[in-house]
A and B are shown apart, each in its own frame.
Chain A
Amino acid sequence: MTIRSMLSLALAALLAGMPSALFAQNEDLGAAPPVGGEVETVEMPDSAADDEGGLTGSVSFEGSLDNLAMAIPAFAAERDVATAANARGTAALGAELARVVTADLQNNGLFDPTGPDALPRPTYPQITDPVWGMWSMRGAEMLVQGYVRPRADGKLVVGCYLYDVALQDELVRSGWVVPPSDWRRAAHKCADLIYSRLTGESPFFDSRIAYIAETGPKDNRTKRLAIMDSDGANHRFITTGRATALTPRYSPDYRKLMYLSYVDGNPRIYIYDIGTGRQTLVTESANPTFAPRWSPDGRWVLYSMAVNGNTDIYRVSASGGASERLTTAPGIDVGGSYSPDGSRIVFESDRSGEQQIYMMNADGSNQRRITFFGGRAATPEWSPRGDQIAFTYIPGDFNIATMSPEGRNFRKLTDGWQDEAPTWAPNGRVLQFFRTERNTGRTAIYQVDLTGENLRRLPTPVDASDPAWGPILP
């Protein structure tokens, strides 16, 4: 018996005389995931003050990024020593780091890098002094090198360098200190550094995704809350599957998960505190609550609540207190997504007779419809950059589309039979959504960039739906 279940039993005995609701609402929770620490960025020695912000005249290649010959050899280890991050020591960890960087850049679709398994391994001194002739002979235009070195306190220092081989020049460098358990984050930071330097976009690899893991036949589906890194690694189930869980959302600081659960027999939103393992209702009400959303600063929660069959959107402080009703129209007002500055909310309503997308101020004032594309429009999500809104466009089949916050510049990005519920990457350049397969009901998370190209399925251990992409990790 685990300590947790012993505690649960003790708690159960303690609560035997009390209403069962408090205990029942925790019944579906599995073991709590570890709370990650912050990654410290370190000043790298000899750091030339490099201009960041995308391709500039200092880069030698022209043309599209996926034609760019990029080599990512194994990161060098100063000495091959034991580390908690890899059973075979820091040298093996160095190769793993380069593999993760390669996979990040590869899977993004913009780059076609060559990873460490097909490349010679630089020595530790060569990391800051590349063997230019050898890399240029191999046809590499861009070279990513790095190193890993354990610190006395057991933490790892990981350095990452991007070189332009033709110019024989360093484009950018950075380094991070991570606990051994967070070694992958250093690789994601490195991939983010390179992605940002070469595209001019903000980073997004070092982030996590909450989603719903699905198993079982279509008419008896088990739906569990699960989390993973943006590349699918560090996968964990949060709930056991005894109760249906839906529509998770990470808090902006990653400390809490908000989601819908049927754990007490009714659909209700719970806020799960990852650090304490405690779970609370978003609001004390006998009415069903669903469609939870955080404000960008994490101070507010939007939720939808049905009262006598009529669904409206409410706002409540994340620390509790009285709820404020934001919509009053008869019909279904549901969901909601804040503008990055928190001043406006885009939401879905069928007040016109069918699902369409509306805009309002954060206090509920000035509600107006913004979608007039023919067909239904649902599940709006405001880009973290503020410039676009992604949504489910339903001319018949279900597709992912984007538009401006004024309801213009409509772009359809996918062509599935049922693609729904887009979620933005932290940099607002990539979207994930879930695709349901006709007849079988099988679900999977897909990723697509804003060009509508580079569509790919995310690897998950079981079927997957309702992805919710968190911000860049703190």
Chain B
Amino acid sequence: MTSRIKFAIILAGSVSLAACQSGAPDQLPPEPGVSQPDTGGDYTSGPREGTQEHFVDAVNGQNVIYFDTDRYNIDTADAAALQTQAQYMARYPNVTVTIEGHADERGTREYNLALGERRANSAKNYLVSLGVAANRIRTVSYGEERPVATASTPSAWAQNRRAVTVVID
């Protein structure tokens, strides 16, 4: 199979998976794996293994999980995403990650720092329960300080209540 076909399959997969995520917001933020600019059209090598790009491609953009207002529990959609992430980490045992916890703007600043930390740890604990060594996962909370969606609407807030897994390069 050529890389270009493989890319198309990954893309189709991520779209269908996104469509059946129950806890996901109405509008998903652009997925880095899909919107990645074509650097010169040469996909013969693809993203290097163990890079963020490679990781996001491999988990079909499911490196982000979403939370309900003030909640930090792992729902079915989150669990599926984290299983995909755990599989990647099992396949690439040298990969270490940071899980960034985020909150929406409709909270007080300090509480949101604590809430982001709680969300990042929920994701971390779930990965650990799937067999990923705890020392491969760092957490950091950004509270409400780094929104991806900037509107003040329920759908923007849903996109911002998230935990993002980022490969440490």
For B145, the chain A residues whose CB sits under 8 A away are 221, 223, 244, 246
In the complex formed, the residue of B with least CB distance to A312 is: B114
- In Å, the complex CA distance between A392 and B109 comes to 11
Within the complex, the shortest CB–CB distance from A384 to chain B, in Å, comes to: 21
- Does any Cβ of B come within 8 Å of A62's Cβ? no
Within the complex, the shortest CB–CB distance from B160 to chain A, in Å, comes to: 10
Within the complex, the shortest CB–CB distance from B91 to chain A, in Å, comes to: 27
- In Å, the complex CA distance between A311 and B118 comes to 8
Query: Which 9 A-B residue pairings sit nearest by Cβ, starting from the closest?
Result: A309-B121, A311-B114, A306-B117, A332-B114, A218-B150, A291-B110, A309-B118, A378-B108, A438-B152
In the complex formed, the residue of B with least CB distance to A310 is: B118
Given A306-B141, A441-B105, answer yes or no on A290-B150 (Cβ-Cβ < 8 Å). no
- Looking at chain B's contact residues, is the secondary structure mostly helix, strand, loop, or mixed? mixed
Interface string of A299-322 (1 = CB under 8 A from B): 000001010111100000000000
- What class of interface size applies to chain B in its complex with A? 20 to 34
- Looking at chain A's contact residues, is the secondary structure mostly helix, strand, loop, or mixed? strand
- In Å, the complex CA distance between A438 and B148 comes to 16
Are B108 and A290 in touch, CB under 8 angstroms?
no
Among the listed B109, B115, B125, B140, which residue makes an inter-chain contact with A466, where contact means beta carbons less than 8 Å apart?
B109
Are A439 and B151 in touch, CB under 8 angstroms?
yes
A-contacting residues of B (Cβ < 8 Å)?
70, 72, 105-106, 108-111, 113-115, 117-118, 120-122, 125, 139-141, 143, 145-148, 150-152
- Does any Cβ of B come within 8 Å of A348's Cβ? yes
- In Å, the complex CA distance between A398 and B152 comes to 14
For A465, the chain B residues whose CB sits under 8 A away are 109
19 contacts between A and B (CB under 8 A): A219-B146, A219-B147, A221-B145, A247-B109, A290-B110, A304-B110, A306-B117, A308-B121, A309-B72, A309-B122, A309-B139, A310-B118, A332-B115, A350-B111, A420-B109, A439-B150, A439-B151, A441-B150, A465-B109
For B121, the chain A residues whose CB sits under 8 A away are 306, 308-309
Given A334-B114, A354-B70, answer yes or no on A392-B108 (Cβ-Cβ < 8 Å). yes
Among the listed A247, A265, A309, A379, which residue makes an inter-chain contact with B117, where contact means beta carbons less than 8 Å apart?
A309
For B143, the chain A residues whose CB sits under 8 A away are 267
In the complex formed, the residue of B with least CB distance to A379 is: B108
Interface string of A339-379 (1 = CB under 8 A from B): 00000000010100011000000000000000000000011
Are B118 and A218 in touch, CB under 8 angstroms?
no
Are B110 and A266 in touch, CB under 8 angstroms?
no
- Does any Cβ of B come within 8 Å of A109's Cβ? no
Task: List residues of A (412-471) whose CB comes within 8 Å of B's CBs.
Answer: 418, 420-421, 436, 438-439, 441, 465-466
